[in-house]
Amino acid sequence: MPPSFDVRLDDLTGARAESREAAQDSDSILAGPPSELGVNKSPTRQNQRYGDDASPTRQSQHHGDGAWSTHPLPGDERTFYIETFGCQMNVHDSEKVAGVLLGRGYQQVETVDAAKLVFYNTCSIREKAAQKVFSRLGEFRKHPDHGKVIGVLGCVAQQEGEEIFERAPWVSLVCGSASYSKLPTLLAQLEAGNRRVTGLDTDTDETFETEMTRRDNPFRAYLTIIEGCDKSCSYCVVPYTRGPERSRSSASVLEEVRKLAGAGYSEIQLLGQTVNSYRDPAPRGKTFAELLVTVAAVPGIRRVRFTTSHPRDFGRDIVEAIDSVPALCDHVHLPVQSGSTRVLRSMQRTYTREEYLDKIALIRSARRPISVTSDIIVGFPGETERDVAETLSLLDAAQYDGVFAFQYSPRPNTASLQMGDSIPEEEKGRRLAIVQDRQREIQVARNNELVGQTFEVLVDGASRRPGQWTGRSSSNRILNFSSPRSDLLGQYIQVRATGASPNSLVGEQII
């Protein structure tokens, strides 16, 4: 979902450099911020960041990817560890959960071993992602005397519900993402000695707002403006796991943005599964485009991003806002899923190939060049060679700056489950590779055209190699660059691109 361009800065340290740990769970990734892809090992630290759209490589302190040391430490009574899987929305939910816990006097620790409370914030968008959490939970079987309180949060919690207690009897809390507002009550029940507590309603009209959110990135703040999803794409579990759409009032969004600006954040990323379907609940409330403009006008805010946009609700007003307000980032993540109208219909995506390409034309008609990224699913039930060819020709027509491509994964409670899973995994893999190869060629050509251009970059990572830094442009491109200066983290500087790879640019600071 969210787009970013790739990173590959394995040797980076510091406030991030969104690396793509995320990719671990994705079948493909060519560029882009991942969203629900990966694992974001948690202990969120101030200057190391996420795993999803980019994750600041979080060198997990946890023993070998979820494994336990042979003798787990008992941990203090009020300590917690949280590991996040999945999209930026999950990453941000974990920040809010951490805020709730810190507000109750808990201290965040960086290993399972050191924690009394261990939370997994889960993703079930594809089967591989959902399996990961059960493998984490399985580790506790080897340590029956661990003495910890284990909680499963998020989409797998919602999907599996109380069955998690059957599969992993050592779990004490199961709470779906639509019920996070109940978390303080659930925690109080655990503290009172309850062995099993659940929050699994999806019919709430509340959004998850907390007094305190513990943000991991010192420069960019995530802010959810709409939760849940009212679309019904036939392959997708999100409406089931996150419940119906609920928008936050523009007044409360703005109040939080002002606080964030006051705390030193200069970049805001507005989040929602379909962020541009935002409907201000206030009477005569703001449209999404109006909200973007108002957020961008808050003193101290230099960049405003938003993800993910649904093509059906993407209109001219958003392009006009980006055109007229420089603080609105010149990047749109607009997932298409398939280039074939026949498949799109079967996916219940509510637009045709032609209608989608009209939206791309609208974006390309802007006065400012706007980078566009997308998500694609290959191997949807009944997808033919001809459909794949249409997806390839759509890549040529759209000229994306990044694409996340995924192999179709049948999910529980979705309409497409009834369609079977007609494309063998091997064939899905072949189609995925074809899509990736074509998109790679497109990105190589597009990025080469950028060599020689100058970008304003927000520096968010430093390499171990002296004088090497990384940052992102407004268009969400990653620039790895050299500079003789020190203390660049968090600064906006000018960088000239001197070289290109499919997923990033290299450059040098203009001094």
239 binds, among ligand SAM, ligand SF4, none (CB under 5 to 8 A by kind): ligand SF4
**Minimum gap (Å) between residue 416 Cβ and ligand SF4:** 11
If one asks whether residue 231 binds ligand SF4 (CB under 6 A), the answer comes out as yes
Q: At 292, phi and psi to the nearest 5?
A: -55, -45
Note the Cα 180 to chain centre separation in Å: 18
Beta-carbon count within 10 A of 392 CB: 17
Residues 268 to 287 in contact with ligand SAM, rule: CB under 6 A:
273-274
Cα-trace Rg, the chain: 22
Token pair 């655990």 is found at 190
Selected from 233, 275, 291, 301, the binder of ligand SF4 by CB under 6 A is 233
Exactly one of 28, 177, 274, 480 binds ligand SF4 (CB under 6 A); that residue is 274
198 binds, among ligand SAM, ligand SF4, none (CB under 5 to 8 A by kind): none
The least CB distance from residue 279 to ligand SAM, in Å, is 16
**337 scored as a contact of ligand SAM (CB under 6 A):** yes
Q: Which residues, other chains included, contact 400 with Cβ-Cβ below 8 Å and sequence gap of 6+?
A: 372, 373, 374, 439, 442, 443
C-beta of 423: minimal distance to ligand SAM in Å?
12
Task: Verify binding: residue 235, ligand SAM, rule CB under 6 A.
Answer: yes
Spatial CA neighbour of 494 closest among 476, 510, 506: 510
CB of 215 to ligand SF4, least distance (A): 24
Of 60 and 207, the one with the shorter C-beta distance to ligand SAM is 207
Q: Which does 210 bind (CB under 5 to 8 A by kind): ligand SAM, ligand SF4, none?
A: none
Of residues 286-315, those binding ligand SAM (CB under 6 A): 308, 310
Interhelix angle 250-262/288-296, rounded to 10 degrees, is: 20
**Alpha carbon separation from 35 to 87, 132, 274, 338, 434 (Å, rounded):** 4, 16, 13, 18, 22
Fill in the per-residue mask, 444 to 483: x = in contact with ligand SAM (CB under 6 A), - = not in contact.
Answer: ----------------------------------------
Q: Does 86 bind ligand SF4 (CB under 6 A)?
A: no
Given the DSSP bridges, would you call strands 492-500 and 505-509 parallel, antiparallel or unpaired? antiparallel
- Asked whether 381 and 347 are in contact (CB, 8 A), the reply is no
When asked if residue 238 is in the footprint of ligand SF4 (CB under 6 A), the reply is yes
Q: Select the span of 202-210, 294-302, 402-410, 454-462 touching ligand SAM (CB under 6 A).
A: 402-410
SS (H, E, C) 438-463: HHHHHHHHHHHHHCCCEEEEEEEEEE
Identified binder of ligand SF4 from the candidate list 229, 257, 343, 432, rule CB under 6 A: 229
> Of 479, 472, 506, 496, whose CA–CA distance to 217 is shortest?
472
What is the rounded CA–CA span in Å between residue 435 and residue 338?
Answer: 11
Please report whether residue 409 would count as binding ligand SAM according to CB under 6 A. Answer: yes
What is the total count of residues that contact ligand SAM (CB under 6 A)?
A: 21
Contacts of residue 188, Cβ cutoff 8 Å, sequence gap at least 6? none
Is residue 346 close enough to count as binding ligand SAM by CB under 6 A? no
Please name every residue paired with 461 in a beta bridge, in sequence order, or none if there are none. Answer: 470
Residue 463 interacting partner from ligand SAM, ligand SF4, none (CB closer than 5 to 8 Å by kind): none
Cα separation, 221 vs 44, whole angstroms:
13
Among 377, 462, 497, 506, binds ligand SAM (CB under 6 A): 377
Q: Residue 250, interface with ligand SAM (CB under 6 A)?
A: no
Please report whether residue 158 would count as binding ligand SF4 according to CB under 6 A: no
For residues 66 to 105, the per-residue mask of contacts with ligand SAM, x marking binding by CB under 6 A and - elsewhere, is ---------------------x------------------
Q: What is d(CA 236, CA 411) in angstroms, rounded to the nearest whole number?
A: 7
Please choose, from the candidates 373, 359, 298, the residue with its C-alpha nearest in 3D space to the C-alpha of residue 331.
Answer: 373
DSSP state of 435: H
Q: Is 273 in the site for ligand SF4 (CB under 6 A)?
A: yes
Which of ligand SAM, ligand SF4, none does residue 409 bind to, with CB < 5 to 8 Å depending on kind?
ligand SAM
Instruction: Round to whole Å and give the CA distance between 213 and 96.
Output: 5
Q: Determine which residue in the list 136, 215, 286, 310 makes contact with ligand SF4, applying CB under 6 A.
A: 310
Indicate whether 240 belongs to the interface with ligand SAM (CB under 6 A).
no
C-alpha 158/C-alpha 90 separation (Å) is: 13
321 near ligand SF4, judged by CB under 6 A: no
CA separation for the pair 329, 42 (Å, rounded): 28
The two most distant CA atoms of the chain are separated, in Å, by 63
Say how many residues touch ligand SF4, by CB under 6 A: 9
Smallest distance from the beta carbon of 68 to ligand SAM, in angstroms? 30
Positions touching ligand SAM (CB under 6 A) are 1, 35-36, 87, 125-126, 235-236, 238, 273-274, 308, 310, 335, 337, 375, 377, 406, 408-409, 411
Which residues of the shown chain bind ligand SF4 in the complex (CB under 6 A)? 229, 231, 233, 236, 238-239, 273-274, 310
